[in-house]
A and B are shown apart, each in its own frame.
Chain A
Amino acid sequence: TQLLEQSPQFLSIQEGENLTVYCNSSSVFSSLQWYRQEPGEGPVLLVTVVTGGEVKKLKRLTFQFGDARKDSSLHITAAQPGDTGLYLCADPSGGSQGNLIFGKGTKLSVKP
């Protein structure tokens, strides 16, 4: 079973700042999913990246998949308090029997 390392573990910033969080593995991902979990709720899928070097944008969020498909990053521009939450990366085929496995996540707090 592959391990996903996410960094940083915690991040506290002011509204309007930019930030980047990372997801890394020693193995190659077949694809990678990013989820956001807001306080008191379950995780919600943001994006799936599949191709090495791929860049996807979702409003102020930019997701990048490494060329070698062993890492991914999520960049948020001009963060807002509504971006507060736990950001999880997940490997759709990383677990036993092909089940999804998750990293520990990055807990982001955006202060007004």
Chain B
Amino acid sequence: ETGVTQTPRHLVMGMTNKKSLKCEQHLGHNAMYWYKQSAKKPLELMFVYNFKEQTENNSVPSRFSPECPNSSHLFLHLHTLQPEDSALYLCASSLTRGGSGGPLHFGNGTRLTVT
């Protein structure tokens, strides 16, 4: 049990589909993050939310749309993805935003395959 739960664990979708990834944390944290993990690349920060407000969009294409309805829940809405978007998508949380906000607690990720 990591304290951060991601669903689904695996997702296969076509390029014309619309799907959503869900992340939930009950650690009392105020910052939540989406990371993309691809082979041979460092973990890439996609979005940061602090107290439900988006504080960073790291030049992510608009086919990825985040939503943070409250400090405990984070979604990543996906539409018209490309095969190169296939990756492990990790959600994380920390007490507050930024490296000084405490260590990151990660979920186990959603393995996304775009066909």
Which residues of chain A have a CB within 8 Å of any CB of chain B? 4, 30, 33, 40-45, 48, 88, 91-105
Give which listed residue, A44, A97, A99, A101, contacts B106 with CB less than 8 A.
Answer: A44
Query: If A42-B90, A42-B92, A100-B99 touch, does A95 touch B45 (CB 8 Å cutoff)?
Result: yes
What residues on A are CB-neighbors of B107 within 8 Å?
Answer: 42
Chain A: which residue is nearest B90 at the CB level? A42
Q: How many angstroms between the C-alpha atoms of A95 and B44 in the bound complex? A: 11
Q: How far is the CB of B3 from chain A (nearest CB, A)?
A: 10
Instruction: Report whether A45 and B103 are in contact in the complex, using a CB–CB cutoff of 8 Å.
Output: yes
Q: How many angstroms between the C-alpha atoms of A30 and B99 in the bound complex? A: 10
Q: A43-B43, A101-B42 are in contact. List 18 more A-B contacts (CB 8 A).
A: A42-B2, A42-B4, A42-B92, A42-B108, A42-B109, A45-B103, A45-B104, A48-B103, A92-B98, A93-B99, A94-B99, A97-B48, A97-B56, A99-B98, A100-B99, A102-B43, A104-B41, A104-B42
